[in-house]
Structure 1
Amino acid sequence: MIVGVPKEIKNHEYRVGLTPAAVQEFVAHGHSVVVETNAGASIGFPDSLYENAGAEILNSAESIFERAEMIVKVKEPQPNECKMLRENQILYTYLHLAPDPRQTELLVASKATCIAYETVTDNKGTLPLLAPMSEVAGRMSIQAGAHFLEKAHGGSGTLLGGVPGVSPGKVLIIGGGVVGTQAAKMAVGLGADVTILDRSLPRLRDLDDIFLGRVHTVYSTAEAIEHYSSRADLVVGAVLIPGAAAPKLLNRAHIKAMKPGSVLVDVAIDQGGCFETSKATTHQEPVYVVDDVVHYCVANMPGGVARTSTMALNNATLPFGLALANKGAKQAMLEDPHLLNGLNVHKGLITYKAVVDALGSELNLEYCDAREAINS
């Protein structure tokens, strides 16, 4: 199979779909890899490393899409990339379709086979291709929040760790999954006063054991969200419903009741955001202010540490990518139900129900079972 790696074109997105080491693995399995020039140059992977790994360097995205049978990316394809996709071509990347009707329309029109990293599952019921970026984003959420709490950057001037004689800052983390756990680790490490809200009692018990009482674990209710957000210096939105639009857990009234200069970091922004006032931002202009509360809603947070993120992502995506190349998309997905769960669009059909639930009425979409779609 010919595998293509275009350069990412989203604002300040420096990650790349395949590292040179991953390219070498594809080549060792008998596949050809074409990489757009300078696709990884900004994070220390120059064209020469890709050539040494066995890739062919091409000068444009158009040539990559034209040659490749499978496109491997990081972020969702932008409109001009969607229009270069064709029937029977495989797209393997993050998609986050539920809050993105335009991309969904274009992928349906392309008739390509579109596999979303964020909905591939594993035997534990977790999301192995989302996890590494969730780990990165969770850790970055505290780093970013601490930065924008500084007075010069619009915050209240609060140091999360405090100092002897001065209380530490209060951090509220909504959601105790991968993002929330990693955020808590960073916040605890800084010495902050940390509270985690979650609706799973077993998960709250696990978190209590992990942190040995160094965080407050609280069952998530509307009252708890209102109470703890009004006292927080930093709130991290870390909720996830796989493939679906994020629920709006903080409404405008909650945000208006927060302390002036407090900071919201919405890690769920890829799925539409979990705060009513959230809107996607970029690394170039990462924040805005609503009701004296600083909002950080960067839609590709891990892109800020692109080298670390690229290597972590490739560690997770490579085995599934090799299966797609070795067996072809249909056979690979029929043999692996977890990879099949990653299929979101196939030959003009939507095969992930949460996408139809979010956009079906707006776009007049109908759900088709993934196995039925690839067997039709």
Structure 2
Amino acid sequence: MKNENFIKGQGAQRNENNRFDRYTFEPEEEDFQQIKTNFTEVYPKTIVNAVKSPDLRMEYSMNPYQGCEHGCSYCFARPTHEYWGFSAGVDFERKIMVKKNAPELLEQFFQKRNYIPKTIMLSGNTDCYQPAERTFEITRKLLQLCLEYRHPISILTKNTLVLRDLDILKPLAEQNLVSVSLSIPTMNEEIRRKMEPRTSSTKNKLKAIEILSENGIPTGVMVAPVIPGLTSDESLNILKTVSEAGAQTFGYVLVRLNDTVEPVFVNWIQANFPDRAQKVLNLIRSMRGGKLGEKRYHERYQGEGNIAEMIHHTFALGKRKYFADKAFPKLSTDNFTGSKTQQLKLF
């Protein structure tokens, strides 16, 4: 039976202990019901991060916000909140750090003397179009800079707020400087509302794919995470539907629950899907060598066992059936106007 005290519209139900703190304070359950989202302006020294993981294709990522209001219980970025002295639980969703100087830092990065332009992933950790973006518009300012400097940018989001910036995305696309991917882990709206409570609805995400494609913006889909026993049976239907909506490519990720993501997710699924919680958790363990998480490079995406193999075969079939005749463009770095090194190429 579902927990009647479960906080709707929120993934985490409590603050998990911070690995780096000796002492913790846990509010009463009713206090969590009253918590409002708090925004703190921060001023980091850098905004572009070099991605050194050998199993990731992107070379740079950029995140204008730390923490995420979307409230996805499985979010791999939750443990990063602990480095700021917060919890990966409720704090991750309710204490959002806003990097107000991100545009200035990006411009400085573009102007580095020996910088060689490469595509930057906007997001990669927390969502650049989470609800806070409606107020702060940092993502929009970053896109304006990319247009001004003719720098390639790829976007990953769960929020159709991306359509607000069509006036920037269209001229970027005309110069082959932008691509957008929408994250769609499920077509089941009941599951979506529980699994990623403050993201855009699946219906609206599909409409966004149509609009982006109609406006000439290369659009893809991330089916992530794939959760066996909960969403894994939807994979082919998702690929068929997004392909018909105009998506040109897709990616997918098997669920993994590292560090403090594990107790957040376990608490969430036991409260929302008590009838299948143990089955889902056991299926995840079957892909992760008896654990719920996996940190080893390559292995974290590959998984192991029959369930992981079945998921991989399903997506391979979906690619042959629904994406065989589609191609995704490689973004251009040819016309970048920033660093002196790049400017010298004009002569």
**Band the TM-score falls in, shorter-chain normalisation:** under 0.3
TM-score normalised per structure 2: 0.27
TM-score, with structure 1 as normaliser: 0.25
Larger gyration radius, structure 1 or structure 2: 1
Q: Which has the higher contact order (CA 8 A, sep 6+)?
A: 2
